[in-house]
Structure 1
Amino acid sequence: MNSTDIVAPSRMPREADGNSTNFYIGLTLAILSTIFIGASFVIKKKALIKLSQYGTRAGEGGYGYLKEWLWWAGFFSLGFGETFNFAAYAFAPATLVTPLGALSVLVSAVMSSYFLRERLNLHGKIGCMLSILGSTVMVIHAPAEAEVTNLNTLSHMLLEPAFITYGVIVVIISLVLIFYYGPKYGKTNILIYIAICSMIGSLSVMACKGLGLSLKQTFGGDNQLTNLLTWFLLASLVACVTVQMNYLNRALDIFNTSIVTPIYYVFFTTFVISASAILYKEWELMTPKDIIGTLSGFLTIVFGIFLLHAFKDVNFSLSSLPTFMRREEPKETHLVNGSTTSLLQDPPSEEEVVR
């Protein structure tokens, strides 16, 4: 592998460059991406609710949603969102575009409250915000990605022991979750299906980036359609996306959308960053500040998920906060035959007084 095929990673500037027009175009595309992606979760959930009235539900392994136009509307909404997100990177710095992806969680939560009548208590809202904050901190302090210039270089990187180990571990854990833990605990534990989506999703993103590199070379005059790696990446992408969408639909069908969306975003972002870091070896160039930032972001995510999941059934909101904070007033008492009796209780009967 020629060292000139890889451009050393370097961080993008925090502020916009001289071309302010490109900056605002990228910002607009990133915001549109979050709207379409956030809306896709709600639209697909709406379709799954409609289909739950008849036939086998997605949570039970049914695929009737493939015949429902509303589900396909959500699917294409997700596709549009990802397309806008990809285009945004061509105009604005990655340090701006990537953290904005967290806004899709807020879009989904707001739309769920209006269109799905799903309520998120105060603990959930705080957990959601902490998860978004932690994810943003992790993305900001994540190592920059090395630029690979051709598919031949990528093929050598894919065969590195570290990435092969990661891929094997992801596949084994996913298979265990799919065939053992999924049937037993998938309907009661939200993390089962989301973990499958996120881990397999990290491989689908790596395949998608590799396929994009192949197409870029092909359009540049270096035909890669005869390269077996191109077709391997395409087959891997189709297989991973199929599994990813299947178990995401199951999670959306069973659990509250306002809970599925932020947890899925956090897990998916974490695994994608990890897979990209292993493949491109960016962690070797991290500064102590970035290491501390990454660890802090991860701990914030963990705490946010705990608040979001552990207290999801507690009926607690800002309007009920004064009731919880109000100190209970002591009850006045009076003495009856040497004993203390509350004034708020019924007076004792004559027989009780005689006794």
Structure 2
Amino acid sequence: MEPLWWIGMITMIVGEIANFVAYAFAPAVLVTPLGALSIIVSAVLAQIILKEKLHPLGILGCVLCIAGSVVIVVHAPQEHPISSVKEIWYMATQKAFLLYVGSAIVLVFILVFYFAPQCGHLNALVFTGICSLMGSLTVMSVKALGTSLKLTVEGKNQLIYPETWVFMLVVVVCVVTQMNYLNKVSSCCSS
């Protein structure tokens, strides 16, 4: 392997760990849009290092990503401090949230079992949709798990509650699913 590849892989892993930690200390409504700015950094680095051409539509996408991130961060609501995983669990079991989670899971299953076999290899939007829907669940579960771990480190052990372990399981399932379909998007686009 090339040293540049290893440097990229190591910095990406460190960045993802930092992103995970950020969810424990900052509101998800701030961390997520700022994390989306990595797309712009990737586009700029691809143009500089790989000599790829950034097309006008790509430039428009970058501008919209920056504008959207700024609007979200500027108008983000205040988040109240959370004192236990039980409080997070209470919020996660509200009807509106459960309706969202159920809808996202149903859409993922439809995409995975109906659209992916039929046209996933021809249309990257199928795999991208799966990644995006699972990503929304990943963000929320990472926020819950990160907050639980932060509280544990602060001396309020949250590992004794089964809810913490449920959030950990959800994080693992969501991340593995996302990585699987992100790889399929990459292979779909490269062929």
TM-score by length of 2: 0.79
Matches within 5 A, 1:238-277: 238-255=172-189
- Which of the residues 94, 102, 105 maps onto 1:160? 94
Structure 2 equivalent of residue 138 of structure 1: 72
- Which of the residues 86, 94, 105 maps onto 2:39? 105
Change over 3 Å in CA distance of 1:208–1:91 after alignment to 2: closer
| Distance in 2 separating the partners of 1:110 and 1:120 | 8
Structure 1 equivalent of residue 129 of structure 2: 195
- Which of the residues 15, 35, 38 maps onto 1:81? 15
TM-score by length of 1: 0.46
Identity %: 45
Cα offset for 1:201?
1.4
Change over 3 Å in CA distance of 1:197–1:113 after alignment to 2: same
Matches within 5 A, 1:3-22: none
Change over 3 Å in CA distance of 1:187–1:116 after alignment to 2: farther
Which consecutive unaligned segments of at least 5 residues does structure 2 have? none
Q: Quick check: which has more Rg, 1 or 2?
A: 1
Cα offset for 1:214?
2.1
| Distance in 2 separating the partners of 1:207 and 1:96 | 16
Structure 2 equivalent of residue 147 of structure 1: 81
Matches within 5 A, 1:289-304: none
Whether contact under 8 Å (2:104, 2:133) holds in the other structure is yes
Cα offset for 1:76?
4.4
More helix by share: 2
Cα offset for 1:254?
2.7
Whether contact under 8 Å (1:95, 1:140) holds in the other structure is no
SS of aligned partner of 1:147: coil
Deviations 1:93-140 (A, max 9, x none): 999866543442222112223444532222331233123323432343
Whether contact under 8 Å (2:28, 2:143) holds in the other structure is no
- Which of the residues 218, 226, 231 maps onto 2:152? 218
The answer to whether the aligner puts 1:235 opposite 2:169 as a matched pair is: yes
| Distance in 2 separating the partners of 1:160 and 1:182 | 31
Whether contact under 8 Å (1:204, 1:241) holds in the other structure is yes
- Which of the residues 83, 87, 108 maps onto 1:174? 108
| Distance in 1 separating the partners of 2:155 and 2:11 | 32
| Distance in 1 separating the partners of 2:15 and 2:73 | 19
Structure 2 equivalent of residue 127 of structure 1: 61
Deviations 1:6-54 (A, max 9, x none): xxxxxxxxxxxxxxxxxxxxxxxxxxxxxxxxxxxxxxxxxxxxxxxxx
Cα offset for 1:237?
0.8
Matches within 5 A, 1:273-284: none
Structure 2 equivalent of residue 32 of structure 1: none
Amino acid paired to 1:199: L
Amino acid paired to 1:178: V
| Distance in 2 separating the partners of 1:92 and 1:204 | 16
Deviations 1:187-246 (A, max 9, x none): 332322122111111212222222222223322333332311111111111111000111
Whether contact under 8 Å (2:24, 2:146) holds in the other structure is no
The count of aligned residue pairs is 188
Whether contact under 8 Å (2:130, 2:181) holds in the other structure is yes
Whether contact under 8 Å (1:102, 1:136) holds in the other structure is no
Taking only aligned residues, the RMSD between alpha carbons, in angstroms, comes to: 3.3
Change over 3 Å in CA distance of 1:242–1:110 after alignment to 2: same
Amino acid paired to 1:118: E
SS of aligned partner of 1:188: coil
Amino acid paired to 2:157: N
